[in-house]
Amino acid sequence: DLNPSALMRQTLLGMSRNDQLRQVIEKAPFSRDVVHRFVGGATTEEALRVATELVDTHRLVTVDYLGEDTVDPQMAEHTRDAYLEILARMAEAGLTQDGTVEVSLKLSALGQALGRDGNKIALDNARAICQAAANVGTTVTLDMEDHTTTDLTLSVLHDLRQDWPWVGAVLQSYLYRTEQDCRDLATEGSRVRLCKGTYKEPESVAFQDKTDVDKSYVRCLKILMEGDGYPMVATHDPRLVEIATVLADKADRDADSFEFQMLLGIRPEEQLRLAAIGAKMRVYVPYGDEWYGYLMRRMAERPANLGFFLRGLATK
Ligand code: FAD
């Protein structure tokens, strides 16, 4: 009983995991221009430039080195080193103090899926990145991937927070479990990025209906705003941005005790509006060569993004 837009979403999410298609599209000549809107460049240099522009326009930044589902330990080390490099470069440019530019990590890119030792490899790599972030005065947030990794990711979060209490987590309102996870994490010093969730999840673990996902988002946000942690409201949804403002007000939070977060290239005018009224507004800047899975998930979320992509195809 899928409607056309749900069918499109399922298809694109399926494509996001298709390796052959990835290889074709990543290498196609049109790709560079088309991805530019949503990806902060292929190199550290380009990401640094994009981050600087955002900071100059009163926005905070979190950078994400693209790569997921790493299949060998060397790739995981390469990803770790990319983070160490960008942290050093951002610090040199004076961008890391007080968390102005922080980093977001995917544990699967750091080795989480590498068999029996995967979690330990990912944890060790994440530790090296957290230490480097601590040295330059900024923070780290662990992205959340599909539901089969939620428990592992939360246990890595728990371990990392023993040494660096500011390590943040992402929770996804489409999962039934998330209200409880919000309760568990709404504690002093805890940074929680709440998003709707972007993977294809079965009915056994996740709401399928958009309205249910949105209602769950509001319940989760209420818990986070009323709790003692630091909520990070990651959504482009105008209604949820409005509700977040009301809930923060009701919970007597001042403007710097929570922040809004949006993805690079999505609703930039709204990002600037929020920054201009004194809200903390952080932009998620993905960069690197492996943009395929990321871009396909953005297409699945919004047909207009797909139109943009296809127009790029047609004109190249
Ligand atoms: P949607 O339901 O997609 O959109 C709601 C409304 O927002 C739309 O009706 C429209 O009014 C507006 N809107 C959305 N897109 C546009 C656009 N392009 N232009 C204009 N208006 C638009 N997901 C994960 O699963 N794990 C993560 O770790 C993760 N990290 C994230 C980090 C950040 C900072 C952000 C912002 C998102 C992250 N996501 C993550 C993705 C998230 O789960 C959603 O898939 C994504 O944000 C789209 O959901 P939405 O809240 O914007 O609402």
Is pLDDT at 235 greater than 80 in this prediction? yes
pLDDT tens digits, one per residue of 136-186: 999 999 999 999 999 999 999 999 999 999 999 999 999 999 999 999 999
In ligand 1, the atom with minimum distance to the C-alpha of 217 is: 51
Position 31 confidence tier, pLDDT thresholds 50, 70, 90:
low
Evaluate if residue 33 carries a pLDDT over 70. no
Q: How does pLDDT run across 82-102, given as a tens digit for each residue?
A: 999 999 999 999 999 999 999
pLDDT at residue 77 tops 70? yes
pLDDT at 315: 47
Condensed to tens digits (0 to 9), the pLDDT of residues 258-269 reads 999 999 999 999
Q: What pLDDT was estimated at residue 299?
A: 78
**Closest C-alpha among 41, 21, 33 to residue 312:** 33
Q: Which atom from ligand 1 is nearest to the alpha carbon of 263? A: 36
Contact yes or no for 53/94 (Cβ under 8 A): no
CB 300, CB 29: distance < 8 Å: no
* Per-residue b or e along 125-161, where b marks 16 or more CB atoms closer than 10 Å to that residue's CB: bbbebbebbeeeebbbbbbbbbbebbebbbebbeebb
Q: Are strands 281-287 and 60-65 parallel, antiparallel or unpaired?
A: parallel
In order of their start, the domains of the chain are 39-290 (3.20.20.220)
Place of tokens 């060790």: 124
The region of weakest confidence among 108-117, 196-205, 270-279 is 108-117
Q: What is the pTM of this model?
A: 0.92
| Ligand 1 within 6 A of CB of 112 | no
Q: Ligand 1 centroid vs 124 CA: distance in angstroms?
A: 30
Give yes or no for a contact between 311 and 34, defined as CB atoms under 8 angstroms apart: no
- pLDDT band with cut points at 50, 70 and 90 for residue 22: confident
Please state the rounded mean pLDDT for residues 282-305: 83
Regarding the beta carbon of 186 and ligand 1, being less than 6 Å apart is answered no
Position 34 scores a pLDDT of 61
The C-alpha atoms of residue 252 and residue 246 are separated, in whole angstroms, by: 10
The pLDDT-based confidence of 310 (bands split at 50, 70, 90) is: low
Residue among 167, 178, 196 whose CB has most ligand 1 atoms within 8 A, to mutate: 196
pLDDT band at 255 (very low <50, low <70, confident <90, very high): very high
- The larger pLDDT score, comparing residue 190 to residue 300, is at 190
- Give residue 2's pLDDT: 62
- Separation of 120 CA from ligand 1 center, angstroms? 31
Tell me if 264 CB under 6 Å of ligand 1. Answer: no
Distance of CA 102 to the CA centre of its chain: 12
263 CB near ligand 1 (under 6 Å) = yes
Residue 309: pLDDT band (50, 70, 90) is low
Judged against a pLDDT cut of 60, whether residue 1 lies above it is answered with no
Angle, CA 74 vertex, CA 166 and CA 137 arms, to 5°: 25
pLDDT above 90 covers a percentage of the chain that reads 74
- Ligand 1 close to Cβ of residue 302 (< 6 A): yes
What separation in Å is there between the alpha carbon of 106 and the centre of ligand 1? 17
User: Is pLDDT of 312 > 60?
Assistant: no
Residue among 276, 236, 282, 233 nearest 253 (CA): 233
Sign for the CA dihedral angle at 4, 309, 304, 283 comes to: positive
Q: Using the structure block, give the residue that is written with the tokens 């905070």.
A: 60
Q: Whose CA is nearest to atom 24 of ligand 1?
A: 197
Q: How far is the CA of 235 from the centre of ligand 1 (A)?
A: 5
Q: Give residue-wise pLDDT tens across range 180-209.
A: 999 999 999 999 999 999 998 999 999 999
The closest-lying atom of ligand 1 relative to the alpha carbon of residue 301 is 3
195 lines ligand 1 (CB under 6 A): yes
Atom 35 in ligand 1: residue holding the nearest Cα? 234
- Residues classed as catalytic: 143, 193
Predicted confidence band at 308 (pLDDT cuts at 50, 70, 90)? Answer: low
Contact 155, 120 (CB under 8 A): no
pLDDT of residue 264: 95
| Ligand 1 centroid from CA 152, angstroms | 24
Q: Name the average pLDDT for the chain.
A: 91
Q: Which residue has the higher pLDDT, 273 or 307?
A: 273
pLDDT attached to residue 11: 81
The atom of ligand 1 lying closest to the CA of 174 is 43
Q: Establish whether residue 199 lines the binding site of ligand 1, counting it when its CB lies within 6 angstroms of any ligand atom.
A: yes
Reading phi first (left if > 0) and then psi (alpha if -120 to 50, else beta), residue 299 is in alpha
